[in-house]
Structure 1
Amino acid sequence: MALSPIDTIHSPTIPYTGDIKGGLSPGKQVFIQGLLPMSQEHFVINLQCGRQNYPQLEVALHFNPRFNQGTVVRNSHENGSWKKEETYGNFPFHPGQPFEIIIAVETNQYKIAVNGQHFTEFQHRIPVHRVNTINIGGAVQIFCVRFDGPAAAMPACQPQNFGYNPPPMMPQPPMMPQLPPMGFQNPPQPGTGFQHSNYTETINPVVPYVADIAGGLAVGKSITIQGSLPHSQETFVINLQCGRQPYPQLEVALHFNPRFNESCVVRNSHQGGAWKNEERFGAFPFHPGQNFEVKIVVEVNQYQIFVNGQQFTVFQHRIPSHKVNTLSISGGVMLQRVRIESSNMEHNSMTTYNVHTGSGGAYGSPSSTTFSYTTGQAYPPPNPAVMPNQPILYNPHVPFVYGIPGGAVPGKMINIKGTLGPMPSRFNVNLQEGTAENCDIAFHFDARFRFGKDVNVVVRNNRSRGTWGSEERGIPFFPFSVGASFDMIILVEPTCFKVAVNNAHFLEFKHRLHPPHRYSTVKIEGDVRLTQIRFQ
């Protein structure tokens, strides 16, 4: 049995009720991605028989995570009443964090996975062919709802035979066939490339490719992989491994897996005989039949990953990087060059981000394609205790409301990129506590182009218990230009918020509300088009 997308709904307004094209049947799946607020409220997913109101409504599967009870309730609603609840199992949801739910329809039951792990089953109480509507309500933001059905080929992340095996839900990467050289003449064997004091380079290696990393990984080292993709849109895999043992013994510190059939790049680790939580947010930067370059830079707490000269994502270390000593590449890809550079060589190409308290200080937009951090008055590295997933959001809608992963703790950076129209009035950025209409705001940043009597003014303030504080209006310059794009960074420090715009330090706003990590939601609204939001 194989699956392919039938219908996809992007960023629906909650509460959402929509038809399921063709209804449900064994072999189909429902795939839901979203974000939970910090308020720890409950949300509901219902698979229904139509859109009648209670008590007439028939609900075949009621899936209801309840934070106040630490349980996920499953139930059905039939003949005017709720039936017997099922609540066993762990509680896999976390306030302020993204989530992913897959509901696989089987002949006798639903199988449900959360964040890449099997969660539970729910036996059919109402015949599945009667289900034709999905309803989602409660305190939740939904990015995507997708319905998959039988097709010709099975995506690698989907359960086989529509009844996935017990945990882990996601299967291990399949063995990839070796591709022919496709015009490359006499490709050398892996690991027999050029040896230099600062780097090792292999030209036109065959795939699958497995090579030792001389001296293992260390902070500052980088791995650059250049190649081309066939037109067949196959998947390929880059693994940073601890040795060459077979699965399930193999430890994989970074599994980088572009999947064309899903238009996503899956990042993961393999530890203790099992795959862990997948990360798959971000755009899909690969194109069939075209050349590509992937660069992986080792930092203190994470890998920085670049694709075709642009920063793509970061991946927090789950396995200490010094344990990594092997690089493997497999799948539908033709390699042209693999280069492993030592730390002193890489250090020369890194761009640092220095933050000064004066107006001459620069947070810095990188002139090269690589990021790094320095000591002193610099951006600190991301806090590994906060959250392993640091999302990058592309072209989000305005108004934009999103949970800050880990909260506004010191060291947290929020990078906001956007474009202004020809006649903007104002836009504002709030770091606030939750999503309620009159919630407390720790930092209100209000750029006013022409609003009332204000022309080219930036107002900063806070709001506590419904009351605004005293405004701060003094600025060294107005950093925004009508009709132009901008790059804004907010850095949380122990005593203040620091703001940079377009590579120039702009202002500071001292903390008035404490502790700052309470303010775990960012809200952006007004006359602006957002192109990218990144958390670090």
Structure 2
Amino acid sequence: MALTPISTVNNPPIPYTGSIPGGLTPGKQIFIQGVLPMTQDNFVVNLQCSPQGYPQVEVALHFNPRFNQGLVVRNSHQKGSWKKEETYGNFPFHPGQPFELIIAVETSQYKIAVNGQHFTEFQHRIPVHLVNTINIAGGVSIFCVRFDAPGPVMPACQPQNFGYGQPQMMPSGGYQCPPQPVIGFQQNYTEVVNPSVPYVGDIPGGLAAGKSITIQGSLPLSQEKFAINLQCGRQPYPQLDVALHFNPRFNEGCVVRNSHQGGSWKNEERYGAFPFHPGQNFEVKIVVELNQYQIFVNGQLFVGFQHRIPFHRVNTLSISGGLNVLRVRISNPDMATGSSVDESLASIYQPSSATPSYGTGVAYPPSNTTVLQNQPIIYNPSVPFLSGIPGGAVPGKMIYIMGNLASMPSRFNVNLQEGTLENCDVAFHMDVRFRFGRDVNVVVRNHKSRGTWGSEERSIPFFPFSVQSSFDLIILVEPACFKVAINNAHFLEFKHRLHPPARYSTLKIDGDLTLTQVRFQ
């Protein structure tokens, strides 16, 4: 049974003190995703029995990486004093690098994983049911804190020392999870279980080429109709724009596809067999391609529907009519399958090598886990954005940046640089200028060495950005140059001017944009 998310906190200020929904119980897991500064600093994660300060606060788990000592201290604070420290184990953190921390609560201990690998255990010194607060402080930036629960707790007579990420077995009668989204580090999808119908929900980050939406449900025995809409907002008709209206009609034996624009419905499309059956389960999967939606029913391609409204405007999913919805899953581009996208975001450039080092954010890994193949996905980070590049800008490294542009942007820029200081060396500077000084729709590339900018490169085959729209950007590091792709098409190259490129291990993004996702591969 999958873990059930019960709360997510995005981009909390540091220091952060917040309640743990429902307190701690065996089987609950806490995911913390963040990035460390380039300067060697310490940070702390405390699981506490209250939001009080020292010396009154009781701390069940004090997790304290200390860079100056190269060790991670684990301890508890009880009755006004610290108890015996535990410091054995390697030091799994690196300055300037993103990280993921998972704390899994077991009956007798906490188990702690860092970047997808089991790190250590810490035996309970304070009963877990007394813990209700998390505190994070020190030299760290946090993108996401998520609390997951395994569902109903087994009776005390049942063994609860389950393997990491393998919560207790589902009771024979089943367990109905509340309809809550799962938006996790490297999980790369949003899932809603058993939503009520009619259902209206956001599409995190909007639509992009390669993204897919899967709806699993069941139909009543009585012949009914239902509708799935991909919408541009939640306005009521007739103001609402609908990019795709998918409407199976049992009384007519057809599936109507249409769009709603400018206050009216447009031309219907009805051709194709009728793939639904009263009283049976079904699955509809909608895959976003560059020029159309491809719609699969029960694993078979059913029909295509050409875009009438730009898909980047779509941000809402609605479902209505005579059906029960069991699950809605919105998968990001590299999770989408069954698509024939000409050049999906994940396949424009094939990296010559990869340096995997991070975990999944889905569940606690086994103690003997090997390093997983994917690296951190950072969702909805704030701008300016500053992060280490795992392994540095070595040949084969790919950086994925997804974002949205404002209605009247002036400029935004992306830097691959040596550190975090204002005057540090920059191996690759890409400055997208919509209206900045005398520049209109210009993309400037450059480098900076010892505080001095080099010669600019300005020639471009086309200007690939549109105001008030989303974009996908890939930077591929090759032995001789950086390659850049925008919205699934190769855009430009920038030959290396500073060597070696691996020295430039920091990514900085700033300007008139919002970020929906940053990923390193």
Q: Give the TM-score of the pair, scaled to structure 1.
A: 0.56
Distance in structure 1 (CA, Å) of the matches to 2:446 and 2:167: 50
SS in 2 for 1:381: coil
Residue in structure 1 matched with residue 83 of structure 2 by the alignment: 83
SS at match of 2:146: strand
Aligned-residue offset at 1:18: 1.7
Which string of whole-angstrom CA distances, capped at 9 and with x for unpartnered residues, describes residues 48-73 of structure 1? 34445445554332102335544321
- What's the offset of the Cα at 1:456? 3.1
Matches within 5 A, 1:175-324: 263=182, 280-284=187-191, 285-289=213-217, 308-309=286-287
Task: Give, as a single letter, the amino acid of the residue that structure 2 aligns with 1:48.
Answer: Q
**Alignment-mate amino acid for residue 497 of structure 2:** R
User: How do 1:123-138 residues align onto structure 2 when only pairs under 5 Å count?
Assistant: 123-126=123-126, 128=128, 131-138=131-138
- Tell me the amino acid that sits aligned with residue 340 of structure 2: S
- Does 1:383 pair with 2:353? yes
- One-letter code of the match for 1:383? S
Q: Indicate how the Cα distance of structure 1 residues 532 and 47 shifts in structure 2: closer, same or farther if over 3 A, else same.
A: closer
Whichever residue aligns with residue 341 of structure 2, its letter is T
For residues 56-104 of structure 1, give each alpha carbon's deviation from its aligned partner in whole angstroms, at most 9, with x where no partner exists.
5543321023355443210123455433210123445566354241241
Residue aligning to 2:433? 448
Between 1 and 2, higher relative CO (CA 8 Å, sep ≥ 6) is seen in 2
Partner letter of residue 474 of structure 1?
Answer: R
CA distance in 1, matches of 2:78, 2:84: 11
Name the counterpart of 1:416.
401
Change (3 A) 1:173 1:308: farther
Deviates further, 479-488 or 114-123: 114-123
Q: Which residue of 2 is the match for residue 169 of structure 1?
A: 164
> Once the two structures are superposed, what CA deviation does each residue of 1:160-195 show, in whole Å capped at 9, x if it has no partner?
969435xx5233998999xxxxxxxxxxxxxxxxxx
Give the C-alpha shift of residue 526 in structure 1: 1.4
Deviation digits for residues 300-346 of structure 1 (CA, Å, limit 9, x no counterpart):
xxxxxxx75359xxxxxxxxxxxxxxxxxxxxxxx95699xxxxxxx
- CA deviation after TM superposition for structure 1 residue 528, in Å: 1.5
Report runs of 4+ in structure 1 exceeding 6 Å deviation: 172-177, 231-234, 259-262
Identify unmatched segments of 5+ residues in structure 1. 155-159, 178-230, 235-258, 266-277, 292-306, 312-334, 340-366
Residue in 1 aligned with 2:513? Answer: 528
Residue type of the partner of 2:146?
A: R
2:459 is matched with 475
Letter in 2 for 1:526: G
**The one of 498, 501, 505 aligned to 1:516:** 501
The answer to whether the 8 A contact 2:343-2:489 is kept is no
Go from structure 1 to structure 2 and tell me whether the alpha carbon gap of 1:528 and 1:118 turns closer, same or farther (over 3 Å shift).
closer
The 1:460/1:138 distance shift into structure 2, 3 A limit, reads farther
Q: Is the 8 A contact 1:396 1:532 kept in 2?
A: yes
Code of the aligned partner of 2:16? Y
Q: Distance in 2 between matches of 1:481 and 1:372?
A: 19
Aligned-residue offset at 1:124 = 4.1
What secondary structure is seen at the aligned counterpart in 1 of 2:216? Answer: coil
Distance change >3 Å, CA 13–CA 488, structure 1 → 2: same
Question: 3-state DSSP class of the match of 2:502?
Answer: helix
Residue 166 of structure 2 aligns with an amino acid whose one-letter code is P
Partner of 2:383: helix, strand, or coil?
A: coil
Distance of aligned partners of 1:384 and 1:505 in 2 relative to their CA distance in 1, 3 Å threshold: closer
For the 8 Å contact 1:461–1:468, the answer to whether it is kept is no
1:368 and 2:340 correspond? yes
Distance 1:26 1:505, change over 3 A: closer
When the two chains are superposed, the root-mean-square deviation of aligned CA atoms in Å is 4.7
Which residue does the alignment assign to 2:43? 43
SS in 2 for 1:517: helix
For the residues of structure 1 that align with 2:351 and 2:125, how far apart are their CA atoms?
Answer: 51
C-alpha change, 1:408 and 1:152, in structure 2 (3 Å) is same
Closer, same or farther: CA 434–19 of 1 in aligned 2, 3 Å = farther
Secondary structure of 2:88's aligned partner: coil
The aligned counterpart of 1:315 is none
Q: 2:94, 2:11 → 1: CA distance?
A: 20
1:18-33 maps to which residues of 2 (within 5 A)? 18-21=18-21, 24-27=23-26, 29-33=28-32
2: CA distance, partners of 1:59 / 1:232: 33
